[in-house]
Structure 1
Amino acid sequence: MSDLAGERPSDTSAGRRLTTREAAQLLGVKPATVYAYVSRGQLGSRRDAAGRGSTFDASEVEALARRSRREAAGPAGELAVRTALTLIEADRYFYRGVDAVELASRYAYEEVAEWLWTGSLPHGARFAAPPEALAAARRAVAALPDHGGPLDRLRVAVAAAAVVDPLRFDLSEEAVLGSARCLIPTLVGALPEAAPASVPASAPASAPASVPGDGDGDRDGDGRLARALWPRLTGREPDPAAVDALDLALALLVDHDLAASTLAVRVAASARAHPYAAVSAGLGVLEGPLHGAAGRLAHRMLVEVLERGGAAPVVAEHLRAGRRVPGLGHRLYRGEDPRARALFGRLEALPQAAAALGAARDVAAVTARHGLHANVDLALAVLTVSCGMTAEAGETVFAVARTAGWIAHALEEYRERPLRMRPSGHYTGPRPPRPLP
């Protein structure tokens, strides 16, 4: 007989014992998660007298439940969430303990995503967009006004893909990963293709380019998401070295600990929102000017530096207007952002990136005495400027890349106690009772 049905708790001299079902109810998790706690060493267990199921010390389970309720409150009231995904320390960052820059430099975006999701690294991993989801997403995006931005298109595409997925409410790991491998290429395939470089930007865009799994085939047989994303970002012909740089950017941006958008995803997942809804929460936060717009601002600054022939007057105008110089500094790194360093290194191999790279280094040199170093937004701006992409292209790259990280965090949160991210409000209004207005 299973230890989940027909079992009765037993009492021993060591204290009250709980069955698996009772422990799961007290912790607010599924029975399978109770065993995960055991495998992590967070709970002890032993077989009951009949040998038909596991039992758990009630006091130990209650202590774990109390820790879980307190875990959202870190030192000095800071939010702290357990995660085994990304570690940032000593001006480096790691995906599941592996140096993220080394991983991203050697493996494609899809492979890095699989590592973050599963802890395994399948060689040649590729994602495919289901025809029905892709068609629905394209129709929804096509209905938007022409002035809609990339994040508008991505949010609509996520909603459309969710509606046609009847399994979206299945939060098992297998189902969520299946949805993720379909959703990311669907987002890319739903974006309109950029106008060819020889056609004015005001001319109508051509028909959507093919993406892996959309039935049209991948034009160069590559199958990588970066290759499918390229014609959505620029009308220039794909240069293999430039596509490799785009792939590196995607892999470097997969995750970065608990950024604001990632926290929103975890809150949604804590409420057991399905993965499409969790990704939508992340995209909503990314729309904020303090999170997702940095790449756009850095792109425009680099263009201005190139036009004016130097960084000094451009930086001076930003500072005079009280604006932060985009693409510089990161609160998690004392020195240069390791993502920027890696992307700069790859871009050095692109002849067309020389001018934008020089402009970026000029900006960094002008601001060096203030202790500011280049961050990944500045490096991403070099990529977008040198490859003929629009200022909004950096937002698209960031959002597509980070979707994989959001899914990884949602998967982690689905294994935790539901609704655990429920902080208490600190009321500062007038004390009741007050007369009725």
Structure 2
Amino acid sequence: MTDQEPALAYDTRRISTKQAAELLGVKPETVYAYVSRGQLSSRRSTGGRGSTFDAKEVEALARRNRREPAESSPAAGKLSVRTRITLIDKDRYYFRGVDATELASRHSYEEVAEWLWTGVLRPGVTFTAPEASVAVARRAVDALPEHTGPTDRLRVAAIAAATADPLRFDLSEQAVLGTARTLIPTLVDALPTKGHAPRDGGSLAHRLWARLSGREADEASLRALDTALALLVDHDLAASTLAVRVAASARAHAYAAVSAGLGVLEGPLHGAASGLAHRMLLDVLDRGTAAPVVADELRAGRRVPGLGHRIYPGEDPRARVLFGLLEEVPRAAPALAAARDIVDTTARHAPLHANVDLALAVLTATSGMHASAGETIFAVARTAGWIAHVLEEYDEAPLRMRPSGHYVGARPPQPLPQPLPEQ
């Protein structure tokens, strides 16, 4: 035992929730979160009021929590964060140990989100937003310039919704789950409609469709959109998710953490990548062949959008599922043929597989959506995953994601800088 690990005073007896929380350095609510995730076992106390915990089990968890954050240190060689949310293994990925593509194929976006947050599948669950929250968010979004991008609209909607929630600083698990179930539909309902919004509210995918396309949604297209949302819910520690966890580590509330993720998502190498694939796909459809379009990309020294993935050396499983659904979508045949032409033409230069951005491009181009629609789909979908990571990070030691800078500038002491002469 080291001097950083004080002796436990309760070795031979059980301890209360308060004592367990003090030993772990967390709130009492977090102790019960550990129980719900199987990290601690509890027993009702005598008289039925409150719970008791095995002192040795709590101490073991406390030691583990003190030791494991070291995985994030520079000495470990690369950033590593413990998570129970998503596992990526070769050409497959899993949500809480369950094949993510099977979940997305059989369950709605809302059902997959609930599974990611709680580990419980709730058939038929739908998300609805309070009218007051939507009204505040919509007013803020409507005040933006017409050329405003989708991620900016969503970020403004998230910030506006936060101002309408006086309980946003409650970081307990149940409060954050309540925020998640209202924030996501608020983001969607705050966007301007292009078609007729469903009268009965409808599923989140149905309501989002009305914000992205002026066409009537057929059943196959709606299923493809809903499945795309579910497939994109989470993907381990992508750049935006890491930003969310950093914010949550500083105990920012859920709205602020989601806003941090949206800020990173706007980059062309992340959420905006599908827009580049969409424009390329339209160019191929216009020219009738992919050869000159791919040649232009290669000549300019750019990678061909929608192809290859740094995690999947082979096929992107998300693209595979989405392309399969798009085969059933009316009017999708030309865009699907153009996508195949892009893959086959590029294969002469490099054997790259289609990724989910190209599949999203086929969906958005076929549905009469703007090139930025894929970015909106990505952002709305990933918000659920960010909330899952927020919940997980709140259970960790605060401010643990504070790396040390490796200073390479001029060595001190340096003389005071001299002002520039007046012109």
From 402, 405, 412, give the equivalent of 2:385.
405
The CA deviation at 1:25 is 5.1
Retained in 1: the 8 A contact 2:17–2:52? no
Distance in 1 between residues matched to 2:57 and 2:124, nearest whole Å: 46
Does residue 29 of structure 1 match 2:26?
Answer: yes
Q: SS where residue 87 of structure 2 aligns?
A: strand
Shift of 1:10: 3.2
Look up the equivalent residue of 1:345 and give its one-letter code: G
Partner-residue secondary structure (3-state), 1:351:
coil
Q: What are structure 2's unaligned runs of at least 5 residues?
A: 1-6, 44-50, 418-423
3-state secondary structure, aligned to 1:352: coil
For the residue of structure 2 that corresponds to 1:88, the secondary structure is: strand
What does residue 356 of structure 1 align with?
335
Q: Relative to structure 1, is the Cα distance of residues 11 and 408 closer, same or farther in structure 2, using a 3 angstrom cutoff?
A: closer
Letter in 2 for 1:358: A
Once the two structures are superposed, the pairs formed by residues 231-310 of structure 1 within 5 Å of their partners are 231-310=210-289
> In the TM superposition, what is the alpha-carbon distance from 1:64 to its structure 2 partner?
2.9
Match of 2:203 in 1: 224
Q: Which amino acid aligns with 1:410?
A: V
Deviation at 1:300, TM superposition (A): 0.1
Alignment check: 8 A CA contact 1:134 1:190 kept: yes
In the alignment, the residues of structure 2 paired with residue 88 and residue 418 of structure 1 have an alpha-carbon distance, to the nearest angstrom, of 26
Counterpart position of 1:170: 170
2:111–2:125: 8 Å Cα contact kept in structure 1? yes
* Structure 1: gaps (5+ residues): 1-7, 197-208, 211-217
**Other structure's SS at 2:72 match:** coil
Identity %: 69
Compared CA separation, residues 222 and 169, structure 1 to 2 (3 A) = closer
- How big is each residue's C-alpha offset from its partner over 1:14-62, in whole Å with a ceiling of 9 and x where there is no partner? 9xx999767755654234545766887878999xxxx987645998577
Q: Following TM superposition, where does structure 1 have runs of at least 4 consecutive aligned residues deviating by more than 3 angstroms?
A: 8-12, 17-28, 31-46, 51-63, 73-76
Q: Which amino acid aligns with 1:398?
A: F
Structure 2 counterpart of 1:30, one-letter code? K
Contact 1:23–1:61 under 8 Å retained in 2: no
Q: Contact 1:230–1:243 at 8 Å: present in 2 too?
A: yes
Distance 2:390 2:364 in 1: 30
Q: Which residue of 1 aligns with 2:47?
A: none
2:368 to 388, 398, 411: 388
Give 1:199's aligned residue. none
Q: Distance in 2 between matches of 1:414 and 1:262?
A: 14
Map 1:143-222 to 2 at 5 A.
143-194=143-194, 210=197, 218-219=198-199, 221=200
Task: Give the SS at the match of 2:133.
Answer: helix
Q: Which residue of structure 2 aligns with residue 201 of structure 1?
A: none
CA contact (8 A) 1:19 1:54 kept: no
Preserved contact between residue 20 and residue 53 of structure 2 (Cα < 8 Å)? no
Shift of the 41–336 alpha-carbon distance from structure 1 to 2, 3 Å rule, reads: closer
| Structure 2 residue 64 is matched with structure 1 residue 64 | yes
Aligned to 2:322: 343
Does the 8 Å contact 1:264/1:282 carry over to 2?
yes
Please state how far the C-alpha of 1:231 moved relative to its aligned partner: 1.2
Query: Aligned residue for 2:421?
Result: none
Contact map agreement 2:15 2:53 (CA 8 A) in 1: no
Please report the TM-score for the alignment, with normalisation by the length of structure 2: 0.88
Measure, in 2, the Cα distance between the counterparts of 1:334 and 1:235: 37
Deviations 1:392-419 (A, max 9, x none): 0000000001100000110111111111
The aligned counterpart of 1:10 is 9
The corresponding residue for 2:356 is 376
Q: Residue type matched to 2:326 in 1?
A: L
In 1, are the aligned partners of 2:230 and 2:381 still within 8 Å (CA)? yes
Structure 2: distance between partners of 1:139 and 1:233: 19
Distance 1:165 1:35, change over 3 A: closer
Q: Is the 2:42–2:53 contact (alpha carbons within 8 Å) kept by the matching residues of 1? A: no
Cα gap change, 1:176 to 1:86, in 2 (>3 Å): same
- Residue 78 of structure 2 aligns with an amino acid whose one-letter code is E
Whether the 8 Å contact between 1:74 and 1:80 is mirrored in structure 2 is no
- Cα distance change on mapping 1:182 and 1:44 into 2, 3 Å: closer
> Hey, what does 1:85 align to over in structure 2?
85
Does the C-alpha gap of structure 1 residues 367 and 133 become closer, same or farther in structure 2, counting only changes over 3 Å?
same
* CA distance in 1: counterparts of 2:150 and 2:253, whole angstroms: 23
CA deviation after TM superposition for structure 1 residue 98, in Å: 0.8
Partner of 2:291: 312
User: Residue 107 of structure 1 corresponds to which residue in structure 2?
Assistant: 107
Deviations along 1:281-308, whole A, 9 cap, x unmatched?
0000011122121010000000000011
The CA distance in 1 between the partners of 2:161 and 2:315, in whole Å, is: 38
**Contact kept? 2:187, 2:380, Cα under 8 Å:** yes
Aligned pair count? 404
Deviation by residue 1:159-196 (Cα, 9 ceiling, x = unmatched): 111000111111111111111111111111110112x6
2:96 matched to 1:96?
A: yes
Give the match for residue 333 of structure 1: 312
Query: Match for 1:160: what amino acid?
Result: A
* 1:38-53 correspondence to structure 2 within 5 Å: none
Amino acid at match of 2:174: E
Check conservation: 2:343, 2:352, Cα contact below 8 A: yes
Contact 2:65-2:396 within 8 A present in 1 as well: no
- Cα displacement (A) at 1:425: 1.1
Q: Retained in 2: the 8 A contact 1:20–1:56?
A: no
Closer, same or farther: CA 353–11 of 1 in aligned 2, 3 Å: closer
Name the stretch that deviates more: 33-42 or 426-435.
33-42
CA 1:91–1:9 in structure 2 vs 1: closer, same or farther (change >3 Å)?
A: closer
Alignment check: 8 A CA contact 1:29 1:415 kept: yes
State the TM-score, normalizing by the size of structure 1: 0.85
Name the aligned partner's letter for residue 79 of structure 2.
Answer: L
Deviations 1:306-360 (A, max 9, x none): 0111111101100100111000011111111000000000000113000000000
Counterpart Cα distance in 2 of 1:59 and 1:97: 27
